[in-house]
Structure 1
Amino acid sequence: MNRRQFLLLATAGSFGAALGVSELMKFAAQPAPVSAKPTPTWLYSASDNPAGGHFLSKLDLSSGTVQSLPVGVRGHGVLPMSDGRVLMFGRRPAFACEVVNFDDASNLTLNAINGRHFAGHGCLSGRGDVLFTTENDYNGKRGVLGIRDSKSLQPVGEYTTYGLDPHDVQLLPDGKTLVVANGGIETHPDFGRRKLNLDTMQPSLVYLDSETGKKLDEYRLPDHQLSIRHLIVTPDGDVGVALQYEGDLYRKQPASLVAWQHAGGDLRLLAVDNPTVAQFNGYMADLAYDPQQRIAAVTSPRGNHVTFWDTDAGAFLAAIPLTEPSGLAFIPAQGFVVSGANGDLHRCQVTKHSTNATLLHKFTDTLWDNHLTIA
């Protein structure tokens, strides 16, 4: 049985056992409420202002209203918690994260344990009671997932990630399996963000059992200098990967900067020609996914493009030039929303035959960081 079959059976089995056939039929027969008002679409992102202040921002997309609360660290990834608080991960290397409550405009600091620093991302367990955080055991030269109680935020343990430089981690639809992006780069706080092993780096995509930490699978790409950085997991259990090239761009362009793994299949680079990939300056950031059209979007802030990829064909579709596009979110019936490091917010409507970008809002005092999170 491959991983796709397992995910589908596990999902169907648990859902059916919980409701039963008669309850399922009753649930399906219930009409949608005709008077229901549309739920506001909230987007969260770390941000800065032109003076260099750091914030966590909450955006009402329909009105363009932004609520920004000051924080003590420059942020990166954002994770809405099950109790309404929002966790903002510090930008690597970070010894602290911020937990923000927008209801009372309060925040508290989450400190890394001794000998670790946070690496920018994290996720919740299937039940929401456990928080996993990507971390660097910098003296031990190994990547770890910190394990914390999601309410108290107290550490309760850690798992090895079976690689260096874990950056992103996501939970698969089975609610049990974690996928970790090991970037493969050795760093140490004594050297800031200096990369210490570019000639020997070994990025990997690793799957772990969230309850035991057991390694289930590991995948690598042919080019060991393609650092595996950011992830997206689709409802079908596919995994998309945004890559950053650590080789010499003056001598060679990478074969691609986006990889895709259909559930149960191999990790493969998505096809793109050399002149096109050269436009992206060796760097991809955030990802979003349209599950109906099976189109992935990936931002290239250093290349000043947002890119689109056909995941069925395994190939590049198109790119739209935008100034330093950073975060991405997909909203059904609306399209992709793209934030820019210059404060712009665009909507991109994309099919496999056409692309269109529209400026939604322009903020002069809110400079968006690399990720958008929808909640």
Structure 2
Amino acid sequence: MQRRDFLKFSASLLATGLSHQALANPADSFRVYSASDSGQRLNRLSIWESTSNTAQHYPIPFRAHDILPFADQQRVLAFGRRPEMQCVLVDTTGNADGRLIDAAEGRHFYGHGCFSADNSTLFTTENEYDEARGVIGIRDATSLEIIGEYDTYGVGPHDIHLMPDGKTLVVANGGIETHPDYGRRKLNIETMQPSLVYIDVASGKKLDEFRLSDHKLSIRHLVVSKRGDVGIATQYQGDTYREQPHTLVAWQPYGKALQEIAIPAPLTQSIRGYMADIAFDEQNQVLAVTAPRGNRLTLWDIEASKLIQEVELSEPSGVQYLAGKQQFIVSAAKGDLTAVHLQHGRVTTQTLFTDADTAWDNHLVIA
């Protein structure tokens, strides 16, 4: 981005962003952070407040993928959706310009990041594209300057989470080779090798690695339980008109083997091999995974290892479990935020917010 364009972006950010009041009752109030596009295809960071039922929007210079709020809930990092050379730090109080964060030379970001247990360090998934090598970028969380890097022991790292022990990172190596010279073209479908890798935070040493039975299942997104179980949402890179994957969701109980959950054939045909975001209800032991191409939220019983519900929603995108209200919050590309409540095998839904001018992107964060 040129300096002139960056100054225009910063001025727009200050003009549009509004200050936020502290949540009056944390038990009943919450805030949803997500990337979104407007009806005019303007790229934004959007924040919806449950108390006022209003959304505030902050312009950003590219389409974002995942969102990472800082502990103060006022500064927010937005990661580029496409392979992107920058991420952007947004100050939602309007007290500072939006700050663009550049990837290191020869690298691009891959859409996700997480903080260390003490919030002092930022870890980002990146691609060293000339060597097709997955990298975890390590930055000081205050200055956002690069202080190191780790190998991800795979290709195309996408999602990354800190495990509950505070000492281990879990990385979804999607397995897909990309290069900026070829846009979004996937360069290695026939030879791709996705992997789930656990890495020691202190040393960068690989602690363990797991793979699915089908090498065309790109491991994209993860959810981690309080105990350290890991849920996996995948995207099939084969020809879904000629072949159907036997699974798109997997579960790894803490310290045990990776378990693939069989998917009914009619469902995999309708969702075209594409799962987006993933969340976990610890009380009911249920995974929720959005399938935007199939217009549904899928619910999976972990103990029975099977699909239990399909909830029809128009182009669902992000999902996260709100434990205080015992419900999943689901965003949609059509502008809705929906609460999905599961109790005794019965699903109820409630539309919390709708705005046809807000196309929510594939992830949301609740604070």
Q: Could you report, residue by residue, the CA deviation over 1:237-286 in whole angstroms, capped at 9, with x for unpaired residues?
A: 00001100001111111111111000011111112221222222100011
Distance in 2 (alpha carbons) for counterparts of 1:364 and 1:36 = 29
Distance in 2 (alpha carbons) for counterparts of 1:160 and 1:320 = 39
Q: Which residue of 2 aligns with 1:18?
A: none
Deviation of residue 36 (structure 1)? 6.7
Pairs within 5 Å for 1:172-321 = 172-321=163-312
**TM-score under structure 2 length normalisation:** 0.90
Q: Which residue of 2 aligns with 1:40?
A: 29
Pairs within 5 Å for 1:49-198 = 49-83=38-72, 84-104=74-94, 106-198=97-189
* SS state at 1:121 partner: strand
Distance in 1 (alpha carbons) for counterparts of 2:207 and 2:343 = 35
Alpha-carbon contact 2:63-2:82 (below 8 Å) kept: no
Distance in 1 (alpha carbons) for counterparts of 2:317 and 2:78 = 16
Deviation of residue 50 (structure 1)? 1.0
Q: Could you report, residue by residue, the CA deviation over 1:194-218 in whole angstroms, capped at 9, with x for unpaired residues?
A: 0010000000000000111000000
Distance in 2 (alpha carbons) for counterparts of 1:278 and 1:164 = 27
Task: Sort the Cα spacing of 1:193 and 1:318 in 2 relative to 1 into closer, same or farther, 3 A.
Answer: same
Distance in 2 (alpha carbons) for counterparts of 1:175 and 1:37 = 25
* SS state at 2:268 partner: helix
Amino acid at match of 1:338: V
Distance in 2 (alpha carbons) for counterparts of 1:353 and 1:318 = 8
* Residue segments in structure 1 that go unaligned for 5+ positions in a row: 1-34
Alpha-carbon contact 1:310-1:317 (below 8 Å) kept: yes
**Higher relative strand content:** 2
**TM-score under structure 1 length normalisation:** 0.88
Alpha-carbon contact 2:275-2:290 (below 8 Å) kept: yes
Distance in 2 (alpha carbons) for counterparts of 1:37 and 1:227 = 37
* SS state at 2:294 partner: coil
Task: Sort the Cα spacing of 1:164 and 1:51 in 2 relative to 1 into closer, same or farther, 3 A.
Answer: same
Alpha-carbon contact 2:232-2:249 (below 8 Å) kept: yes
Residue 358 (structure 1) aligned with residue 355 (structure 2): no
Distance in 2 (alpha carbons) for counterparts of 1:131 and 1:90 = 16
Alpha-carbon contact 2:135-2:157 (below 8 Å) kept: yes
Deviation of residue 356 (structure 1)? 2.1
Alpha-carbon contact 1:226-1:245 (below 8 Å) kept: yes
Q: Which moved more, 1:346-355 or 1:219-228?
A: 346-355
Count how many residue pairs are aligned between Structure 1 and Structure 2: 341
Deviation of residue 82 (structure 1)? 2.8
Task: Sort the Cα spacing of 1:109 and 1:65 in 2 relative to 1 into closer, same or farther, 3 A.
Answer: same
Amino acid at match of 2:359: L
Distance in 2 (alpha carbons) for counterparts of 1:256 and 1:190 = 32
Deviation of residue 46 (structure 1)? 0.3
Distance in 1 (alpha carbons) for counterparts of 2:29 and 2:166 = 27
Distance in 2 (alpha carbons) for counterparts of 1:170 and 1:92 = 20
Q: Aligned residues: percent identity? A: 52
Distance in 2 (alpha carbons) for counterparts of 1:339 and 1:273 = 25
Task: Sort the Cα spacing of 1:94 and 1:36 in 2 relative to 1 into closer, same or farther, 3 A.
Answer: closer
Q: Which residue of 2 aligns with 1:21?
A: none
Q: Which residue of 1 aligns with 2:10?
A: none
Distance in 1 (alpha carbons) for counterparts of 2:138 and 2:353 = 38
Amino acid at match of 1:371: H
Task: Sort the Cα spacing of 1:317 and 1:44 in 2 relative to 1 into closer, same or farther, 3 A.
Answer: same
Deviation of residue 124 (structure 1)? 0.4
* SS state at 1:199 partner: helix
Residue 341 (structure 1) aligned with residue 333 (structure 2): yes
Distance in 2 (alpha carbons) for counterparts of 1:215 and 1:352 = 41
Alpha-carbon contact 2:107-2:128 (below 8 Å) kept: yes
Alpha-carbon contact 1:88-1:99 (below 8 Å) kept: yes
Alpha-carbon contact 1:317-1:352 (below 8 Å) kept: no
Distance in 1 (alpha carbons) for counterparts of 2:55 and 2:150 = 37
Alpha-carbon contact 2:114-2:162 (below 8 Å) kept: yes
Q: Could you report, residue by residue, the CA deviation over 1:113-140 in whole angstroms, capped at 9, with x for unpaired residues?
A: 1100000000001111010000000001
Deviation of residue 39 (structure 1)? 5.9
